[in-house]
Amino acid sequence: MQSFAELETRIVACERCPELRAYCAKIALEKKRAHRDDTYWGKPVPAFGDPGARVLLVGLAPGAHGSNRTGRMFTGDASGVWLYRALFRAGFANRPDQRDRDDGLILRDALITAAVRCAPPGNAPTPTQKQRCFPYLIEEIHMLPRLRVVVGLGAIGTRAAADAMRAAGYTFTTRHPFAHAAENHATHPSRESAALLASYHPSRQNTNTGVLTEPMLDAIFSRAAALARVASAMQGP
């Protein structure tokens, strides 16, 4: 089986969506005034975190001036500020703040990925773009043998997570429409069962309006940690 490092190399070099590659390169060249002195990443963004994780987070896509700038998932924008603070409080991160790929941030028992690996215009990837990126998510699930919990961040991330779990061999025993804190469970013929937790995306659109609060996000990761611990205890040493 390939390693996460090998998959990362393939993702960073991906050219499946020429229009997104051109858009990301354009953003990296033009930059944002606040980041005019930064060197933008401007390439597809690979997953970040613990390759032995029991908890997988699936977001939407890199932000044009966030992950497309820093080269690390949920790093460099307001969404990442909220997400990593919550992961720290839940024990999944070694620090609550994030800045760039060299800031010393480490995830424990958690891996962060996305439905689409390139920043899309208006944060709205097309169905074709999502489908082109979809195989990478399936591969990541296959590469996480200890997977117990998948957290979908936003409706698109949650739908992509559910579809990828099915493609990886999981069968859901419960089905619910997308809603914050919705919890679905799935079995697998050769693995332990896993849960899918849905969360509102920690975007400014949700956090600035109170649609998503820090206690609501904390509850998601507290539940994820509890489910991961219970599943491991049931499996035994």
Q: How many CB atoms are located within 10 Å of the residue 15 CB? A: 8
Query: Structural domain boundaries of the chain?
Result: 4-235
Confidence of residue 2 (pLDDT cuts 50, 70, 90): confident
DSSP state of 144: -
Confidence of residue 145 (pLDDT cuts 50, 70, 90): very high
Judged against a pLDDT cut of 50, whether residue 237 lies above it is answered with no
Mean pLDDT over the full length of the chain? 95
Inter-residue contact 4 to 143 (CB < 8 Å) = yes
d(CA 170, CA 55): 16
Inter-residue contact 46 to 117 (CB < 8 Å) = yes
Judged against a pLDDT cut of 70, whether residue 214 lies above it is answered with yes
Which class is domain 4-235? Answer: alpha beta
Confidence of residue 174 (pLDDT cuts 50, 70, 90): confident
Whole-prediction pTM: 0.95
What is the DSSP secondary-structure string of 95-121? -S---STTS---BSSEEEEES-SSPPG
**Confidence (pLDDT) at 231:** 57
Per-residue pLDDT tens over the stretch 61-88 = 999 999 999 999 999 999 999 999 999 9
Per-residue pLDDT tens over the stretch 42-65 = 999 999 999 999 999 999 999 999
Which residues fall within 8 angstroms of residue 214, CB to CB, at 6 or more apart? 82, 85, 86
